[in-house]
């Protein structure tokens, strides 16, 4: 795993926690921020996945 993959997963998990906390404390703002953080994490992980795939292709040549 590369840095973007790891950081993306961490952001995604943090976003899920933030969203759940927002639900528990009845804070729509925190829920939305949590969802946004999840999306950012998924996007960053996808970038990391692409980087890893490119690295693997180059390494095989």
Q: Is 8 strand, coil or helix?
A: helix
User: What is the pLDDT at residue 56?
Assistant: 94
Is 61 a residue whose pLDDT tops 90?
Answer: no
Asked if the model's pLDDT at residue 27 lies above 90, the reply is yes
pTM of the entire structure?
0.90
Mean pLDDT across the chain: 97
| Six-digit token string for 36 | 């946004």
Distance CA 34, CA 16 (A): 6
Give residue-wise pLDDT tens across range 28-49. Answer: 999 999 999 999 999 999 999 9
């Amino acid at each position: 795993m590369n840095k973007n993959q790891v950081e993306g997963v961490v952001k995604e998990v943090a976003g899920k926690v933030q969203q759940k906390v927002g639900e528990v404390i009845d804070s729509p703002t925190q829920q939305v921020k949590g969802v946004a953080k999840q999306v950012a994490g998924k996007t960053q992980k996808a970038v990391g996945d692409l980087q890893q795939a490119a690295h693997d292709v180059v390494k095989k040549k």
